Amino acid sequence: MDTKIILVALAALVIGAGGGYAVASNKETPEAGEHMMGGGQMMRNESDEMNVSMNRNMGGAMDGMMRGLEGKTGDEFDQAFLAEMVMHHEGAVEMAKAALENGKHEEIKTMANAIISAQTTEIKQMQDWQKSWYGN
């Protein structure tokens, strides 16, 4: 798998975790490269540049996906949505496979297996719809 795709997938996880913190704590999401310490204190870590790059890549990828849907309705929207979501899910499956190979904690591996199972099923469903509805 392309390293850039892995970084984008990792960025999604980082961004998702920050967003989850923001919702759960009713506080602002940490900026790229910032991490929460006790008492809500922010700190910068050694990998600021990588974090910023990953956030930009993820933002760019998501922006691209959303731009691909703009102005579309009906079947045109559905086709574009399915294409983007299949690609998105395939990235998540690849990232989960990497977690199985390289992860330390069993909780991560359990989640990775659940992601692989659920998203593989969803990929198949979306591909079946694409074939049934649009012949592709």
Is 68-136 in CATH node 1.20.1260.10? yes
pLDDT of residue 108: 98
pLDDT of residue 111: 98
Q: State the first-to-last Cα distance of the chain, in angstroms, to the nearest integer.
A: 24
DSSP 73-88: -HHHHHHHHHHHHHHH
When pLDDT is cut at 50, 70 and 90, the band that residue 65 belongs to is confident
Cα 44 from Cα 39, distance rounded (Å): 15
DSSP 5-30: HHHHHHHHHHHHHHHHHHHHHTSPPP
pLDDT of residue 49: 53
**Alpha helices (H) along 26-105:** 48-67, 74-102
Write down the pTM of the prediction. 0.56
Q: How far is CA 130 from the centre of its chain?
A: 22
pLDDT of residue 67: 87
Reported as a single tens digit per residue, the pLDDT across 107-127 is: 999 999 999 999 999 999 999
pLDDT at residue 40 tops 50: no
Q: Where are the domains of the chain?
A: 1-61, 68-136
When pLDDT is cut at 50, 70 and 90, the band that residue 63 belongs to is confident
The stretch 41-53 carries a mean pLDDT of 48
> Which has the higher per-residue pLDDT, 1 or 116?
116
pLDDT of residue 83: 95
Cα 93 from Cα 120, distance rounded (Å): 7
pLDDT of residue 130: 97
